[in-house]
Amino acid sequence: MCSHAVSLPKAADEPPGAEMGNRRPSPAVGLKVIVDLYSSSFCAACSATRAVLEEAARLVPAADLVERNIASHADAAESEGIRSTPTVIVRGPSGAEVFRAEGVPTLPQVLAALARAV
């Protein structure tokens, strides 16, 4: 086993100290994943869900969070089969549903859904 460190060459456009092996590939330009949150007024679980989804969107820049209050978007809620709030639907770039959760999802659940969506 080798006990000495090996430095990888740096690309010309990388900041000093950045190693090529530690770069993450950037997402495809224009790639968006839609995260729909169906909520209602005075819903404590909706607030908790919003916080989870905002953190997921912060971690995954391709995630586009859209919140719809079922009182003002009743037709959309009905067409989506929303039975309770909060309900989260994650859609891939094509618009196809890849994940649905009724109630408060965990951050790992949302991140896994976002990974499936891209």
Mind listing the pLDDT tens digit for each residue in 47-94? 999 999 999 999 999 999 999 999 999 999 999 999 999 999 999 999
CA atoms lying within 13 Å on the CB side of residue 60: 26
Query: How is residue 1 written in tokens?
Result: 């086993």
d(CA 48, CA 39) in angstroms, rounded, equals 11
Question: What pLDDT does 103 receive?
Answer: 97
Mean of the per-residue pLDDT values of the chain: 82
Distances (CA, A) of 67 to 28, 82, 91: 25, 13, 14
Q: What DSSP string describes the chain?
A: ---S--PPPPPTTSPTT--GGGPPPPPPTT--EEEEEEE-TT-HHHHHHHHHHHHHHHH-TTEEEEEEETTT-HHHHHHTT--SSSEEEEE-TTS-EEEEEES---HHHHHHHHHHH-
d(CA 31, CA 27) in angstroms, rounded, equals 7
d(CA 40, CA 73) in angstroms, rounded, equals 10
Mind listing the pLDDT tens digit for each residue in 24-54? 344 445 689 999 999 999 999 999 999 999 9
Q: Return the CATH superfamily for domain 31-117.
A: Glutaredoxin (3.40.30.10)
Question: What pLDDT does 118 receive?
Answer: 87
Amino acid in position 117: A
Question: What pLDDT does 31 receive?
Answer: 81
Question: What pLDDT does 99 receive?
Answer: 97
